Chains A and B, each alone.
Chain A
Amino acid sequence: MEVGKAIITDRLTKTFGGFTAVDSISFSVDKGEIFGFLGANGAGKTTAMRMLCGLSKPTSGKGVVAGFDISRQSEKVKRNIGYMSQKFSLYEDLEVWENMRLFAGIYGMGDKEIIEKTDEVLNRLGFYEEKNTLVKDLPLGWKQKLAFSTAIFHEPKIVFLDEPTGGVDPVTRRQFWELIYQAADGGITVFVTTHYMDEAEYCNKVSIMVDGRIEALDTPLRLKQQFNTSTMNGVFQQLAQTASRNE
Chain B
Amino acid sequence: MLKYLLEKEFKQIRRNSFLPRLIIVFPIVIMMVFPWVANLDVKDIKLSIVDNDHSTYSERLVNKIASSEYFYLTNASNTYSEAIESIELSESDIILEIAHSFENSLIKEGYARVMISANSVNGTKGGLGSSYLARIVNDFADEIRSELIPPNNTFPVIDINSQYRYNAYLDYKTFMIPALMTVLLAIISGFLPALNIVGEKEKGTIEQINVTPISKFTFILAKLIPYWTIGFVVLTICFGLATLIYGLSPVGNLGIIYLFAMLFVLTFSGFGLVISNHSSTMRQAMFVMFFFTIIIILMSGIFTPVNSMPQWAQAITIFNPLKYFIQVMRAVYLKGSNIWALSTQLMALLSFAVFFILWAMLSYRKKA
Q: List chain A positions with a Cβ less than 8 A from chain B.
A: 50, 53-57, 74-76, 78-79, 81, 83, 85, 87-94, 98, 101-108
Contacts and interface: CB of A to CB of B under 8 A. Distances in A.
A91 B205 contact: yes
Interface in B11-32: 11-12, 15-16
Contacts of B205: 89-91
A102 B7 contact: yes
A74 B213 CA distance: 9
Given A54-B367, A56-B367, A57-B368, A85 B213 contact: no
Given A74-B367, A78-B213, A91 B8 contact: yes
Given A78-B211, A103-B212, A107-B213, A89 B5 contact: no
B212 A56 contact: no
A103 B367 contact: no
A94 B11 contact: yes
Interface residues of B, number: 25
Contact of B11 (A87, A92, A98): A98
B4 interface: yes
A76 B212 CA distance: 10
B366 A102 contact: no
A106 B212 contact: yes
18 contacts: A55-B207, A55-B366, A56-B367, A57-B368, A74-B366, A76-B213, A78-B213, A87-B204, A88-B204, A89-B204, A91-B205, A93-B11, A102-B7, A104-B4, A105-B1, A106-B1, A106-B209, A106-B213
A81 B204 CA distance: 19
B12 A91 contact: yes
B210 A106 contact: no
Contact of B211 (A81, A91, A94, A102): A81
B144 interface: no
B210 to A, nearest CB: 6
A102 B213 contact: no
Nearest to B368: A56
Contacts of B208: 83, 85, 89-90, 103
A55 B214 contact: no
Contacts of A50: 368
Contacts of A102: 4-5, 7-8
Interface string B187-215: 00000000000000001111111111110
B4 A89 contact: no
Contacts of A107: 212-213
A55 B213 contact: no
Contacts of B209: 106
Contacts of A79: 213
B3 interface: yes
Interface in B208-232: 208-214
A108 B206 CA distance: 18
A108 B12 contact: no
Contact of A55 (B8, B12, B367): B367
B4 to A, nearest CB: 3
10 closest residue pairs by CB, A with B: A105-B4, A83-B211, A89-B208, A79-B213, A78-B213, A89-B204, A87-B204, A106-B212, A89-B207, A56-B368
A103 B3 CA distance: 12
A81 B210 CA distance: 12
A232 to B, nearest CB: 29
Q: Which of B5, B210, B214 has the most CB of A within 10 A?
A: B210
A71 to B, nearest CB: 10
A79 B4 CA distance: 17
Interface in B335-368: 366-368
Contact of A85 (B7, B8, B16, B204): B204
A101 B204 contact: no
Contacts of B7: 98, 101-102
B91 to A, nearest CB: 58
A115 B207 CA distance: 25
Nearest to A109: B4
A55 B213 CA distance: 11
B282 to A, nearest CB: 16
Nearest to B205: A89
B16 A57 contact: no
Nearest to A84: B208
Nearest to A16: B368
Contacts of A89: 203-208
Nearest to B218: A106
A94 B210 contact: no
A79 B211 CA distance: 9
